[in-house]
Structure 1
Amino acid sequence: MTDTTVSAPASEGPHSQLGQCLKAARQVRGLTLKQVAEKTGMALSTLSKVENGLMSLTYDKLLQLTSGLQMDIAELFSPTTPQPEPGRPVTARRSVSRAGQGQIVNTKFYTYTYQCTDLIGKRMVPMIAEVRARTLDEFGPLLRHSGEEYFLVTRGTIAVHTEFYAPEILNEGDGIYIDSTMGHAYLNAGSAESAQGVCLCTSEQADLFEQLHRIAKKDAVE
């Protein structure tokens, strides 16, 4: 019975190139070595040695590998540059938000200025929030929505109230990252009439902007 693999010193060029090409092909497909082993039926240890230039493969094993990964055998002998993951195309979207621009929603205790509103279906919603409410009674029910968010104080002092933690006082330059499904509120805790911050909300749900807009519009002042 003949061996299906042939050991080789790591310094040998062809085996090293095969390992590099296998690694590149694996990364293009977003796979781990373990997943490659599962798809091809080859031993994980064998694949690891191949990637590290310590082992070559016989032709039948090369066919087994390429068949399992549904790739052309030539890809294993042509160095490639990893491309974006399948299903994650580069959209090249871009939006510039100038000072004083944005979609403004005024409420009794807040002013929200939504940034980059020309892009629809964003998974991150940036906004500037001017905070005037000083108590939870003024603020009303804690906010909840999908995703997570980061809030950076750019002016004044803000008290962050959350459902499961004691209030946190943030001064200019301080920031907080929270789970947005947890009830939360930002209050003005300084001596000035208002405080201000930049809030970045993100979610896997494509309608995040609509969620946030509906929340803000409930208390909007015409």
Structure 2
Amino acid sequence: MASSRDADKQRSFSKEAMGARLRAIRKEKGFTLKQLSQASGVALSTLSKAELGQTALSYEKFVAIALALDVDMSVLLQPDGEQPSNRLNGKVIKASMQDQHDYQTATYRHQFFFSEISGKVMTPIVATVFSRSVDEFSEYIRHPGQEFAYVLSGAIRLVFENGEEIRLKRDEAAYFDSSVGHVYLSTSKTPARVLAVCTDVPERGVDVGQRTPVAGRKKARSI
């Protein structure tokens, strides 16, 4: 019988697996790395490192890459070359936390729910927030749409590029325009856990805009 540690490892979607998945889809779509960088706005060096499994991609970059490749973001989140199933088409689908693959960056651990379903207008994510300072980010996270955040445990500080910020503790929530740059910071003793629901992006081909660098950061860092 597999141990819980083995089970967690099996559910983890590694940077290497994501890189292989991204490279396969890019080639299938006929993009060079340079072309994908130009179309998505994601730095060529970041794309190259991501495909080599040397860096993790943030949600924002997932969105930008999916738009450029003209694919549903769920396609990028399928391990082992699996394909997401069709749209809901009247179905009701149940999921448990234990069944979700997780994808970890330096600042967050993401568990993307229902990534096997294509055509969603919402992306539900349970995120464990490790970051505690804005200095841990090279840029604010921003993507088209709206975002709902509900604190499951711990406490967070949501910091926005326009100078606003909001503090949330367990069972408190926020709803905001996710095109405004933002970062989640944990303010509790242990990493906070947050349910975040992001709405679908606009029609494919719409410019997702320029990312805003975090003031004071001299060295870029993928998140």
Q: TM-score, normalised by structure 1?
A: 0.50
Identify the residue that residue 102 of structure 1 maps to in structure 2. Answer: 100
Identify the residue that residue 201 of structure 1 maps to in structure 2. Answer: 198
* Structure 1 ranges of 4+ moved more than 6 A: none
**1:102: Cα distance to partner?**
1.6
SS in 2 for 1:100: helix
Q: Which of residues 142, 148, 166 in structure 2 aligns to 1:150?
A: 148
User: 1:1-222, aligned counterparts within 5 Å?
Assistant: 91-192=89-190, 194-205=191-202, 219=222
Percent identity, please. Answer: 26
Give the letter aligned to residue 169 of structure 1. R
Query: What is the root-mean-square deviation of aligned Cα atoms in Å?
Result: 2.2
Q: Using the alignment, how far apart are the partners of 1:100 and 1:205 within structure 2?
A: 31
**1:93: Cα distance to partner?**
3.5
Q: Using the alignment, how far apart are the partners of 1:109 and 1:185 within structure 2?
A: 10
Give the letter aligned to residue 197 of structure 2. L
- Gaps of at least 5 residues in structure 1 are 1-89, 212-217
**1:219: Cα distance to partner?**
4.3
- Gaps of at least 5 residues in structure 2 are 1-87, 209-220
Q: 1:199 to 1:169 in 2, by over 3 A?
A: same
SS in 2 for 1:205: coil
Identify the residue that residue 215 of structure 2 maps to in structure 1. Answer: none
**1:100: Cα distance to partner?**
1.5
SS in 2 for 1:137: helix
Does the 8 A contact of 2:145 with 2:200 survive in 1? yes
SS in 1 for 2:135: helix
Q: Using the alignment, how far apart are the partners of 1:219 and 1:146 within structure 2?
A: 20
Q: Deviations over 1:71-102 (max 9, x none)?
A: xxxxxxxxxxxxxxxxxxx9313322112122
Q: Using the alignment, how far apart are the partners of 1:206 and 1:157 within structure 2?
A: 34
Q: 1:97 to 1:167 in 2, by over 3 A?
A: same
Q: Using the alignment, how far apart are the partners of 1:135 and 1:204 within structure 2?
A: 28
Give the letter aligned to residue 162 of structure 2. F
Q: Using the alignment, how far apart are the partners of 1:138 and 1:165 within structure 2?
A: 17
Counting matched residue pairs gives: 121
Does the 8 A contact of 2:146 with 2:176 survive in 1? yes
**1:126: Cα distance to partner?**
0.2
Q: Using the alignment, how far apart are the partners of 1:153 and 1:140 within structure 2?
A: 24
Q: Using the alignment, how far apart are the partners of 1:184 and 1:93 within structure 2?
A: 34
Q: TM-score, normalised by structure 2?
A: 0.50
**1:125: Cα distance to partner?**
0.3
